[in-house]
Amino acid sequence: MATSTPVFVPLEEYLRTTYRPDRDWIDGETKERNLGEKPHARIQGFFIRFLGNREEEWNILVYPEQRVQTSANRYRVADVCIARAGDPDPAIVRTPPLLCIEVLSKDDTLSETLDRVHDYTAMGVAQVWVVDPLRRRAYMAHERGFEQPASGELTVPGTPILVPIAAIFEDLDRSTRPA
């Protein structure tokens, strides 16, 4: 994460401000997110395309870089947020989404990632996926830790959502091959 001096912002100001890129709001402090590198962008785009192409079939809605109010004092910006098609549709997600996906950047730390996962699961998010482009790994994350699925597939139990992990990295490889 970029090193910066903490910036404390009242909630009302945070909610009416457009940040580029958007920022988390944690206990009154805005926090920068690590973005801007091709592997992160490519994997985020993969999920938007893959899941977006199945919205109607799977009865879901796909939101990139969506603000999610995880508690009264915390707003996270999920790399990709998947809501049930029938969930309320305010500008900020306040109903626990079905799935939040976080794509790691090279400067993300384990501690920061665990905090994000904790915020999502404490809110009631059904599933959190964490994808590490550098190490070519994908995890289903929960309070007990990070689990690499033995099946080679990321899933959301009780839904038809299934993403082959190999497809994520095949797409990333396609973007990095010389023409």
Residue 3 in domain? no
pLDDT digits (tens, 9 = 90+) for 138-169: 999 987 789 999 999 999 999 999 999 999 99
For residue 85, give both structure tokens.
């098609």
DSSP characters over the chain: ------EE--HHHHHHPPPSS--EEETTEEE------HHHHHHHHHHHHHHHTTHHHHTEEEEEEEEEEEETTEEEEEEEEEEETTS---SSB-SPPSEEEEE--TT--HHHHHHHHHHHHHHT-SEEEEEETTTTEEEEEETTEEE--TTSEEE-TTSS-EEEHHHHHHHHHHHHS--
Q: What percent of the chain has pLDDT over 70?
A: 93
Q: Which of 1-5, 8-12, 17-21, 175-179 has maximum average pLDDT?
A: 8-12
Residue 133 in domain? yes
Residue 14 in domain? no
Residue 62 in domain? yes
Measured distance CA(61)–CA(89) in Å, rounded: 10
- 10 band by pLDDT with thresholds 50, 70 and 90: confident
Select the more confidently predicted residue: 31 or 75: 75
pTM of the model: 0.86
Residue 162 in domain? yes
Distances (CA, A) of 100 to 17, 28, 175: 23, 22, 24
The pLDDT, as a whole number, for residue 31 is: 82
Domain residue limits at 93: 38-176
Residue 109 in domain? yes
146: domain CATH number is: 3.90.1570.10
Based on the structure, what is the number of domains in the chain?
A: 1
Residue 2 in domain? no
Residue 80 in domain? yes
